[in-house]
Amino acid sequence: MLDAVVVGAGPNGLTAAVELARRGFSVAVFEAQGTVGGGARTEELTLPGFRHDPCSAAHPLAINSPAFRALPLERYGLEWLHAELPMAHPFPDGTAAVLARSVGETAASFGPRDAGAYRRLVEPFLPKWDTLARDFMSLPLTALPRDPVTLARFGLVGLPPSTLLMRRFRDEPARALFAGLVAHVMAPLGGFATGAIGLVFALAAHARGWPVARGGSQAISDALAALLRDLGGSVHTDYEVKRLDDLPPARAYVFDTSPTALARIAGFGDHYAGYRYGPGAFKIDYALDGPVPWTAKEARVAGTVQIGASRAEIGAALRAASREGRAPDKPFMITVQPSVVDPTRAPAGKHVFWAYGHVPHGWTGDLTDAIERQLERFAPGFRDRVLARATAGPPELAARNANYVGGDIASGAVSGLQLLLRPKLTLSPYHTPHPAVFICSSATPPGPGVHGMSGHNAAKAVWKRLRQT
């Protein structure tokens, strides 16, 4: 009998398996798809030689993850590549605000009226970032805070809605950039603790950047899987699990799945009926015959580029997708251009590029024209660079990754108390109604992103049980 079986080979499932194997437990992972990866995969979606990331591409949380930093992933081929700028936020007039590694460079891009306010916001936390990140990403209390005073100060700043935090800024560059940071998790700007989301992304950039993985996000998943095998664990792909009886006998079962799928497989009925899913995404992967022709020079050297002309425009796009049930006319978009720093991603002189906008949950329309009209505002002539495109709306995203219910790439609404207490209002989020069954997906704290911390935290709960039985 195995000690633990993990269902789902995304970053969280693989991390949970690695953490258990490191402690001497026998572990096997079962994945429905033909390769490991979940939200961290790389595939040729458009043309031969163009290697795209179907979901996550830039990794501020991965490089800052306490779980990943404790593992020797670089020995298994993971290499981080940094663009000249982690992120740029261009405006239609050709100017841009930037999120640079340097606090000073970032502050200067906001203009003199907001430079000081930005410094006062981030500089108190940056020297204690590693401890703060560990404490913040271990919530709820899977471990006692190492620096409870700094965590409390961070909570005072971050728990109110981001709209209050943005009142520190007087001009549009800082407000729009910060609104865009919050929108990375598809959260309404006025929601509880949304200030913390924006602040975490900013601090992550200043601490270690927003890199891409050489060769694509698949390198993260492949490194985790290789480490697991070296530790004695096994990985089984093309293995769909429909019920617990499909799995080999084990002392514990750990699910890197949506709460919906877990309830169906384990027979938990309506235990997670109250769990809410959020807006969907509409994503386009592009093969380009040259770099994106951004008007703003800063955007040409950034790994990630946010597209939203103002805080008001970003807020309107989020409201349309999350509350009004319609696709926005001017979608806020997150775009990533990996080949700016990684030439292995495309043939010589060519580029890969992806963009996504928010749409209502389960939306079945086509956002291609709206996305490309937005891109043309900031990069005139963009359409002329397109060699091929691969589009994926909510149905396609859900078919590609079962955790993206209704196209929700955050694996659950990041709003209200569900931002911190997910998938149930409990301080034991990794436990389920069955004492031997656990959940470790992005539906558990600390939530969405490629960071492995949900798996890391869940593994603590699992090994405590294994030691007691």
Q: Could you tell me if residue 233 is inside a domain?
A: yes
Residue 247 forms part of a structural domain: yes
Within a domain: residue 150?
Answer: no
Residue 293: is the preceding peptide bond cis (ω within 30°)? no
Residues 137, 307: Cα–Cα separation, whole Å:
28
Domain count, the chain: 1
What's the confidence (pLDDT) of residue 247? Answer: 97
The pLDDT assigned to 243 comes to 94
Residue 219 sits in a domain of what CATH number? Answer: 3.50.50.60
11 assigned to some structural domain: yes
Cβ-based neighbour number of residue 418 at 10 Å: 21
**Tokens matching residue 123:** 């500089």
Residue 234 lies in a domain: yes
Band of residue 253 on the pLDDT scale cut at 50, 70, 90:
very high
Average pLDDT, the chain: 95
SS3 51: coil
DSSP 8-state assignment for residue 335: E
Residue type present at position 346 = A
Q: What is the pTM of this model?
A: 0.96
Cα–Cα distance measured from residue 305 to residue 57, given in angstroms and rounded to the nearest whole number: 12
In-domain check, residue 10: yes
Q: Indicate whether 363 belongs to any domain.
A: no
- Asked if residue 226 lies in contact with residue 77, where contact means CB atoms within 8 angstroms, the answer is yes
* pLDDT tens string 415-463: 877 877 899 888 789 999 999 999 999 999 999 999 999 999 999 999 9
Write out the residue range of the structural domain in which residue 435 sits.
2-41+61-79+214-275+414-468
Distance, in Å, from the CA atom of 369 to the CA atom of 371, rounded to the nearest integer, reads: 5
Torsion angles phi and psi, residue 85, rounded to 5:
-125, 135
Contact (Cβ atoms closer than 8 angstroms) between residue 404 and residue 175: no
pLDDT of amino acid 141: 61
Residue 462 lies in a domain: yes
Alpha-carbon distance 426 to 350, whole Å? 49
